[in-house]
Structure 1
């Protein structure tokens, strides 16, 4: 591809979602936030920029004491050294956060007080610190409300007033099966599991089940589920309808 055929820019997020390599372009678009989760689109001309070039793309002066982290697809943080190259083609990172602070942020995890050197923390890191047992999740305590399940890939802002408190607890998901409330202990449910909730016990070989669902957490949020299939349910409110047919 010659210079005239270069794209104006390629987007790191698009490349990640489409599972492809970055295309030759005059610029590469990424997301950068300054000390919070307010990500803005930025452009850099080199697919292997120095860390300081990523800052400069956001009109930030590296001499002002900034540190920079990349948020990997796993939710882990990777420190980006300002004077070393960071290969956008290999890391799979779309989002970056620049910090200008030496403050520690307090949080509690199962009543143990922790100090974190960045104003945001990822669900992946919280799960790594908490090491919940099978069937457990990490929850953010909500005073006066329902504790919120923390997802592995999400980012949580620690700059809000007060101390964020996290706990590990048993996972429970409230679903509706054939108009009856049921509880399951995992986000992912199987076709066979829902059949047993609808029609418990053994079934003759000539009995066939069909199933529809709606208000699911996974995409698509509604549809049909077949034998061997799975779907991710919401914390509360995913609905299943199961029909039993006896074939002659």
Structure 2
């Protein structure tokens, strides 16, 4: 099934680039795909065939093909497609560049924004769900609760997939919540979780600033990363209960 090299054959064809450019794969000696083993830490690997077997993909990723190892292709739709060890997988026709393997004898099914995924571990982290769901800046991931209030999933949360039925995860606008922070040693309540440089300045020094006044700001114990640092004009930081801000007012001569 290998494509024979010839005058027009290139050394490596990147499957992901071909997909994003909306074109067929060029003839090549090797085809670059993205492979992860048990997580979403993808690394580039190459296979010598545009229609590799599942075991060839595993071998390229350094995983020994054996019983108890599952392999999935992540399609452009976000769906996980099972790839059998001796099943040819057409890289040209599926529009998939990412593959993930699990060493397990059980796969847990769930959906993320309607796309079916199969996860090889009982526990899935919020960080993985966010990577799969790709929510917008003002969105968060929720676990659907039929007949109840959908549960907000934070990136640091862990979710047990070994519940009755299939778990359904969706993205929706982030809820606004009131959070107590500390500004210049005084407690203040903000509508979180994101606050701006300008909001914090107003909490520290209410009113319109004079033209010759500048402000500088540091923070620590933030929810977002880095957890501490400096915040400048137009900056945004994600806070949690107890995040501390120090705002300095300087009058320029």
- Between Structure 1 and Structure 2, whose CA radius of gyration is higher? 2
Separation in 2, partners of 1:222, 1:245: 22
Kept after mapping to 2: 8 A contact 1:135/1:185: no
Are positions 1:150 and 2:154 aligned together?
yes
Separation in 2, partners of 1:242, 1:79: 52
Within the candidate set 44, 52, 57, 1:54 is matched to 57
What SS class does the counterpart of residue 199 from structure 2 fall into?
helix
Kept after mapping to 2: 8 A contact 1:209/1:243: yes
Residues 217 and 209 of structure 1: CA distance in aligned 2, closer, same or farther (over 3 Å): same
Q: TM-score, normalised by structure 1?
A: 0.52
Within the candidate set 40, 45, 69, 2:73 is matched to 69
Question: Which runs of no fewer than 5 residues in structure 1 stay unpaired?
Answer: 1-24, 142-146
The residue number in structure 1 matching 2:130 is: 123
**C-alpha displacement at 1:217, in angstroms?**
3.8
Q: TM-score, normalised by structure 2?
A: 0.52
Separation in 1, partners of 2:214, 2:183: 17
Separation in 1, partners of 2:42, 2:163: 24
Question: Which runs of no fewer than 5 residues in structure 2 stay unpaired?
Answer: 1-29, 145-150
Can you list the C-alpha shifts for 1:53-75, whole angstroms capped at 9, x where unaligned? 2234522359x895513399xx9
Separation in 2, partners of 1:55, 1:123: 25
For 1:13-24, list aligned pairs within 5 A: none
What SS class does the counterpart of residue 209 from structure 2 fall into?
coil
**C-alpha displacement at 1:207, in angstroms?**
1.8
The residue number in structure 2 matching 1:6 is: none
Separation in 2, partners of 1:158, 1:116: 17
| Matched residue count | 198
Separation in 1, partners of 2:34, 2:134: 30
Residues 166 and 31 of structure 1: CA distance in aligned 2, closer, same or farther (over 3 Å): closer
The residue number in structure 1 matching 2:20 is: none
The residue number in structure 2 matching 1:144 is: none
**C-alpha displacement at 1:148, in angstroms?**
6.2
**C-alpha displacement at 1:241, in angstroms?**
0.5
Separation in 1, partners of 2:49, 2:219: 43
Residues 218 and 123 of structure 1: CA distance in aligned 2, closer, same or farther (over 3 Å): closer
Kept after mapping to 1: 8 A contact 2:180/2:189: yes
What SS class does the counterpart of residue 219 from structure 2 fall into?
strand
The residue number in structure 2 matching 1:159 is: 161
For 1:221-240, list aligned pairs within 5 A: 221-230=227-236, 232-240=237-245
**C-alpha displacement at 1:206, in angstroms?**
1.5
The residue number in structure 2 matching 1:15 is: none
**Superposition CA RMSD, Å:** 5.3
**C-alpha displacement at 1:195, in angstroms?**
0.8
